Amino acid sequence: MTLSPEGKGIPEPDSLHYKRMFRQDKTDAFLLLQLKDTPDTEGLRFKNLQYLEKKGFTVSYENYAAVYAGDLTPSRSRQEILDDLYTRFNIDRPPDFTGHSLSVSDIIVLRQQGQITCHYVDSWGFQELPRFLPENYLKNAEMAMEDDYGMIDGIINNGRSAAVIQREDGEKEQPSILEKLRGFKRTEPLGITEKMGFKGNMEKEL
């Protein structure tokens, strides 16, 4: 588990909960990641990217635990959001936040208008990590929100494809055979005056 200055831990179930919250949230949101307290991360904690590159280390998603998640105010620039989150989680930390103050080596994950970006807290500012999240994580995030699974393309919930819209419109306009049978009315026992009728409220095709 990741330890905070107060000695509180981030149990793995809580980390998974924050990740799930972020993945399933349909609004703009953020996720804070901090290095796990394991032997593998001892030489990585609070180190800037330049140091990691010199030592041949890589920033790996598997070394991080989620410590917090929340919604974002829309219509703000990415830089403004990053700066505000850094200030908030250093000076005005939420009461339920049990990680350490936002520091070098932490990672901020943002989702803005369906696009996910990851940012390493460096010695000066933030460095974007384009390939930090595993591919299956992004795909699962899209599948949880996308209206059309054919639009799995790295941007979450970018709407139904033209083919899906056309297919749905066609289904609305063309009654099914079952609906025609249900709406069939016979005005005479046998004869050429048989007519097809349709109910005002179409029943859902079974």
pLDDT tens digit sequence for 35-76: 999 998 999 999 999 999 999 999 999 999 999 999 998 889
Domain that holds residue 75: 2-151
Question: What SS3 string covers 120-152?
Answer: EECCCCEEECCCCCCHHHHHHHHHHHCCCHHHC
| Integer Cα distance of 22 and 32 in angstroms | 10
> Which tokens in the block code for residue 173?
């306009």
Whether residue 71 is found in the same domain as residue 10: yes
The answer, as to whether pTM is greater than 0.75, is: no
| Integer Cα distance of 139 and 154 in angstroms | 7
Contacts of 35 (CB under 8 A, 6+ apart): 2, 41, 44, 45, 63, 64, 65, 105, 106
Counting the structural domains of the chain, the total is 2
Do the domain assignments include residue 201?
no
